[in-house]
Amino acid sequence: MRILGIDPGYATTGFGLITSDRGQQALLQYGTITTPKELPFPDRLRILYDDMARLLEVTKPEAVAVEELFWGHNITTGIGVSHGRGVILLAISKAEVPLFEYTPMQVKQAVVGYGKAEKRQVMDMTRRILNMKQVARPDDAADAIAIALCHARSNTSLLSKLENP
Protein backbone atom coordinates (compact mmCIF):
# COMPACT_ATOMS: atom_id res chain seq x y z
CA MET A 1 0.00 0.00 0.00
CA ARG A 2 1.24 3.49 -0.88
CA ILE A 3 0.57 5.90 1.99
CA LEU A 4 1.05 9.65 1.78
CA GLY A 5 1.50 11.36 5.14
CA ILE A 6 0.73 15.08 5.41
CA ASP A 7 1.79 17.56 8.10
CA PRO A 8 -0.53 20.47 7.24
CA GLY A 9 0.36 24.14 7.15
CA TYR A 10 -0.05 27.10 4.84
CA ALA A 11 3.56 28.35 4.82
CA THR A 12 5.08 24.86 4.84
CA THR A 13 3.28 21.55 4.41
CA GLY A 14 5.33 18.42 4.91
CA PHE A 15 4.74 15.23 2.95
CA GLY A 16 6.13 11.72 3.16
CA LEU A 17 5.32 8.82 0.85
CA ILE A 18 5.91 5.28 2.08
CA THR A 19 4.98 1.78 1.07
CA SER A 20 3.70 -0.71 3.59
CA ASP A 21 3.51 -4.41 2.84
CA ARG A 22 3.11 -7.20 5.39
CA GLY A 23 4.33 -5.11 8.28
CA GLN A 24 7.36 -3.77 6.40
CA GLN A 25 7.58 -0.11 5.47
CA ALA A 26 9.88 1.67 3.03
CA LEU A 27 10.34 5.37 2.33
CA LEU A 28 9.77 6.41 -1.27
CA GLN A 29 9.85 10.21 -1.18
CA TYR A 30 9.50 13.18 1.12
CA GLY A 31 9.60 16.96 1.02
CA THR A 32 7.59 20.11 1.53
CA ILE A 33 5.14 22.34 -0.24
CA THR A 34 5.90 25.98 0.52
CA THR A 35 4.12 29.21 -0.28
CA PRO A 36 5.82 32.62 -0.62
CA LYS A 37 5.20 34.74 2.46
CA GLU A 38 5.02 37.96 0.42
CA LEU A 39 1.86 36.81 -1.38
CA PRO A 40 -1.64 37.57 -0.12
CA PHE A 41 -3.10 34.76 1.98
CA PRO A 42 -5.75 33.68 -0.58
CA ASP A 43 -3.01 33.30 -3.22
CA ARG A 44 -0.98 31.16 -0.83
CA LEU A 45 -4.00 28.91 -0.31
CA ARG A 46 -4.46 28.59 -4.08
CA ILE A 47 -0.81 27.58 -4.50
CA LEU A 48 -1.15 25.08 -1.66
CA TYR A 49 -4.25 23.56 -3.26
CA ASP A 50 -2.69 23.35 -6.73
CA ASP A 51 0.54 21.82 -5.41
CA MET A 52 -1.34 19.33 -3.22
CA ALA A 53 -3.52 18.28 -6.15
CA ARG A 54 -0.40 17.79 -8.27
CA LEU A 55 1.34 15.82 -5.49
CA LEU A 56 -1.65 13.47 -5.24
CA GLU A 57 -1.69 13.05 -9.01
CA VAL A 58 2.04 12.26 -9.22
CA THR A 59 2.42 10.02 -6.15
CA LYS A 60 -0.84 8.07 -6.61
CA PRO A 61 -1.31 7.13 -2.95
CA GLU A 62 -3.81 4.47 -1.92
CA ALA A 63 -4.38 6.29 1.38
CA VAL A 64 -3.59 9.71 2.80
CA ALA A 65 -2.94 10.26 6.50
CA VAL A 66 -3.23 13.82 7.79
CA GLU A 67 -2.36 15.10 11.24
CA GLU A 68 -5.19 16.70 13.16
CA LEU A 69 -4.42 20.17 14.44
CA PHE A 70 -3.06 20.82 17.87
CA TRP A 71 -4.01 24.30 19.04
CA GLY A 72 -1.00 25.87 20.71
CA HIS A 73 -0.61 29.31 22.18
CA ASN A 74 -0.71 31.34 18.94
CA ILE A 75 -4.34 31.30 17.83
CA THR A 76 -3.62 33.56 14.82
CA THR A 77 -1.20 31.02 13.38
CA GLY A 78 -3.63 28.21 14.26
CA ILE A 79 -6.39 29.84 12.23
CA GLY A 80 -4.12 30.16 9.20
CA VAL A 81 -3.03 26.54 9.51
CA SER A 82 -6.71 25.54 9.80
CA HIS A 83 -7.41 27.27 6.49
CA GLY A 84 -4.45 25.48 4.92
CA ARG A 85 -5.60 22.15 6.32
CA GLY A 86 -9.05 22.75 4.82
CA VAL A 87 -7.55 23.32 1.38
CA ILE A 88 -5.48 20.14 1.77
CA LEU A 89 -8.57 18.12 2.76
CA LEU A 90 -10.43 19.52 -0.26
CA ALA A 91 -7.64 18.41 -2.61
CA ILE A 92 -7.66 14.93 -1.08
CA SER A 93 -11.44 14.70 -1.33
CA LYS A 94 -11.45 15.81 -4.97
CA ALA A 95 -8.75 13.21 -5.75
CA GLU A 96 -11.06 10.59 -4.18
CA VAL A 97 -8.30 9.03 -2.11
CA PRO A 98 -9.24 7.50 1.28
CA LEU A 99 -8.41 9.95 4.08
CA PHE A 100 -7.36 9.06 7.62
CA GLU A 101 -6.73 11.57 10.40
CA TYR A 102 -4.53 11.12 13.47
CA THR A 103 -3.81 13.23 16.52
CA PRO A 104 -0.21 14.00 17.48
CA MET A 105 -0.61 11.62 20.43
CA GLN A 106 -1.75 8.78 18.14
CA VAL A 107 1.26 9.35 15.87
CA LYS A 108 3.65 9.24 18.83
CA GLN A 109 1.99 6.11 20.19
CA ALA A 110 2.17 4.30 16.84
CA VAL A 111 5.77 5.23 16.06
CA VAL A 112 7.43 5.28 19.50
CA GLY A 113 5.00 3.31 21.62
CA TYR A 114 4.44 6.23 23.99
CA GLY A 115 1.82 8.92 23.32
CA LYS A 116 3.77 11.63 25.13
CA ALA A 117 7.10 10.97 23.40
CA GLU A 118 9.30 13.94 22.54
CA LYS A 119 9.65 15.11 18.95
CA ARG A 120 13.28 13.92 18.74
CA GLN A 121 12.22 10.42 19.83
CA VAL A 122 9.61 10.26 17.07
CA MET A 123 12.12 11.46 14.49
CA ASP A 124 14.75 8.94 15.60
CA MET A 125 12.31 6.00 15.60
CA THR A 126 11.07 7.04 12.16
CA ARG A 127 14.66 7.00 10.94
CA ARG A 128 15.27 3.57 12.48
CA ILE A 129 12.05 1.97 11.23
CA LEU A 130 12.73 3.12 7.67
CA ASN A 131 16.49 2.43 7.78
CA MET A 132 17.32 6.04 6.93
CA LYS A 133 20.90 7.27 7.32
CA GLN A 134 19.70 10.46 8.96
CA VAL A 135 16.53 12.12 10.16
CA ALA A 136 14.53 13.74 7.35
CA ARG A 137 14.71 17.52 7.12
CA PRO A 138 12.94 19.86 7.44
CA ASP A 139 10.91 18.89 10.50
CA ASP A 140 7.63 19.22 8.56
CA ALA A 141 8.72 16.43 6.20
CA ALA A 142 9.92 14.26 9.11
CA ASP A 143 6.55 14.74 10.82
CA ALA A 144 4.71 13.78 7.63
CA ILE A 145 6.71 10.56 7.35
CA ALA A 146 5.80 9.71 10.96
CA ILE A 147 2.13 10.34 10.16
CA ALA A 148 2.34 7.93 7.21
CA LEU A 149 4.00 5.35 9.48
CA CYS A 150 1.23 5.83 12.02
CA HIS A 151 -1.33 4.90 9.40
CA ALA A 152 0.72 1.93 8.20
CA ARG A 153 0.94 0.57 11.72
CA SER A 154 -2.70 1.34 12.56
CA ASN A 155 -3.96 -0.09 9.28
CA THR A 156 -2.20 -3.43 9.80
CA SER A 157 -3.40 -4.01 13.35
CA LEU A 158 -5.73 -6.93 13.97
CA LEU A 159 -8.33 -4.56 15.39
CA SER A 160 -8.61 -2.62 12.12
CA LYS A 161 -9.14 -5.89 10.23
CA LEU A 162 -11.96 -6.84 12.61
CA GLU A 163 -13.58 -3.41 12.24
CA ASN A 164 -13.23 -3.36 8.44
CA PRO A 165 -13.91 -6.90 7.16
CA dist., res. 36 & res. 57, Å (int): 23
Q: How far apart are CA 18 and CA 30, in angstroms?
A: 9
Strand partners, 67: 102
Nearest to 116, CA basis, from 105, 107, 126: 105
* Nearest-angstrom CA–CA distance, 91 and 95: 6
Q: Specify the length of the chain in residues.
A: 165
Catalytic residues: 7, 67, 140
| Residue partners of 41: CB distance under 8 A and separation at least 6 | 10, 80, 83
CA angle at 155 for the pair 95 and 115, rounded to the nearest 5°: 110
